[in-house]
A = this chain, B = another copy of it.
């Protein structure tokens, strides 16, 4: 009887090991994304002359700054509000699939570095809902990771990481960010 019981015992042991692992570490976290997407968004900052095309504007600045020219000292303290078109490829004139909306602020005097709080807002046949982001953007690095802190609609309760890459920039007026979104919590 003993010899026959052992496969059960082993299975049960394995089973309990799995469960108790889950109980203490709470989950088995694989770093395989449950959803991956790539988007581009395009920012044209207001400089006093481009009211028609501008998609963003300086709304806060340090004492040494103003609202139409990014401040000295690597724009430290400039706060920018944006409503940028999101496209599937790197062409500014492609049909937008949503809007990137929120703010960024430059937060280092010695080099360009920013902090972002924004959403991707979708309302198309392809996607409905929003993805919310926050995090540091040391924008001189080729790639930098920010957090997907939540989502709604198609992206209900999403969490993940988004990798930003500066795909292009033109002086201090235009930049384009490639955004590789990888969700690790999908509902």
Residues of A whose CB lies within 8 Å of any CB of B are 1, 4, 8, 11-12, 15-16, 18-19, 22-31, 34, 46, 48, 57-63, 65-68, 76-79, 81-83, 99, 101-103, 105-109, 113, 115, 117-119, 121, 129-130, 132, 134-136, 138, 145-153, 156-157, 159-161, 184-187
Chain B residues with Cβ below 8 Å from A138 are 121
Copies of the chain in the assembly: 3
**Min distance, Cβ A15 to any Cβ of chain B, angstroms:** 6
Q: Are B28 and A23 in contact (CB under 8 A)?
A: yes
Residues of B within 8 A of A12 (CB): 8, 11-12, 15
List chain B residues, Cβ under 8 A from A67.
Answer: 62-63
